[in-house]
Structure 1
Amino acid sequence: MNHRILYPFADFGDAVVVQPEGDTTRNTPDPGRDQDGDRSLITYFELARVMERASRRFSGLLRTELTKLGVDDIGSAQAMVLLVIGEAELSVGELLDRGHYVGSNISYYLKQLADGDYIDRIASQRDKRSARIRLSEKGRQLCTALREAAKSYERALSHGEQDRRNLETAFQTLHRLELVWGNAARYGI
């Protein structure tokens, strides 16, 4: 099967095989094989699409949890900003580095969070235009409630040591991709 027809923008040069050779753990037809017996390939483009969809699903999950908690003055994007801040005291630049926000969006999110008393902005003594951001007590309570809710999802996903190792491996791989892609965007390959 010609994968270029299905994925015209994908680069198959450094593709990864979906299943290892000789994997016989399935009793059902192998979805990794097409009609010609070729293995399906996962490209970086496809990986990025899955990551983006997973991020959207997580945003939906956060919206559901915010609704359960009776929080209707902020959305899932603002809740993610709170979770990124955590126990730290950050500048806006540091917050931009830790999240995946567009600069204009973070200003809007921070204004909403400040208006809702979820964060405290501490003006810099040297430059009044610059500020440090930290969670207020209301923000800390919301983050604690969201982390508690997340524990039930973690229990549903993690059924043993192997699942925890797989999660750690997935995190390390995604973090490495983030670094490589970020450096490639900034400095080229």
Structure 2
Amino acid sequence: MNHRILYPFADFGDAVVVQPGREAVRNAPRHPESDRDGDDALVTYFELARVMERASRRFSGLLRTELTKLGVDDIGSAQAMVLLAIGDAELSVGELLDRGHYVGSNVSYYLKQLADGDYIDRIASQRDKRSARIRLSEKGKQLCKSLREAAKSYERALSHGEQDRRNLETAFQTLHRLEMVWGSAARYGI
């Protein structure tokens, strides 16, 4: 792990940084959170959560930039993420809530904006007129396709070989596991 990436403004001096599991990091700077607890870990779950939150905000900014490049000014990055979450499926609102982390009132507002902009089609249920199924319209499909194409250029910039792809897969698996553990802990306790 390259600690200069995790802590770009830290002064490592002549620290020896080695692969995890082989030898401890010597002379590396400590963070106030880890010093306070007497913990030698350089990365805590709290710090990881903060990085994830910042990365999410930066990704939203990137989506806003891409939407602007595409001439889309009637929806924002949050609505674009809803479109990407829907994908090729036909979903109920409940199923959409399960796919993403939305507050019910927010997703209702987002879906209204997306329907008003003709990005989604709402199909009323034959059985229960109060519920509806949602799917992307042709306009929504085209926008998602354009956003995925734009994402490929960023993926190419980040991925320089098989090791980078494996690192991305490991990061995804770790974050997914954290999501599951933290979600269960929030619902049921530890």
Give the TM-score taking structure 1 as reference length. Answer: 0.81
Report the equivalent of 1:133. 134
CA contact (8 A) 2:30 2:42 kept: no
Report the equivalent of 1:65. 66
* Bigger RCO of structures 1 and 2 (CA < 8 A, at least 6 apart): 1
Consecutive unaligned residues of structure 2, counting only runs of 5 or more, are: 1-17
Residue 34 of structure 1: how far off its partner (Å):
3.8
Residue 33 of structure 1: how far off its partner (Å):
2.4
**Residues 92-143 of structure 1: CA deviation (Å, up to 9, x unaligned):** 1111111121111000000000000000001111111111110000000000
Report the equivalent of 1:176. 177
Consecutive unaligned residues of structure 1, counting only runs of 5 or more, are: 1-17
Runs of 4+ in 1 over 2 A off after TM superposition: 18-24, 32-36, 38-41
Give the TM-score taking structure 2 as reference length. Answer: 0.81
Report the equivalent of 1:84. 85
Q: How many residues align?
A: 166
Letter in 2 for 1:147: R
Q: Distance in 2 between matches of 1:97 and 1:46?
A: 26
Report the equivalent of 1:102. 103
Alignment of 1:74 with 2:88, yes or no, is no
Question: RMSD between aligned alpha carbons?
Answer: 2.2
Q: Distance in 1 between matches of 2:101 and 2:168?
A: 21
CA contact (8 A) 1:33 1:40 kept: no
CA contact (8 A) 1:33 1:39 kept: no
Letter in 1 for 2:176: H
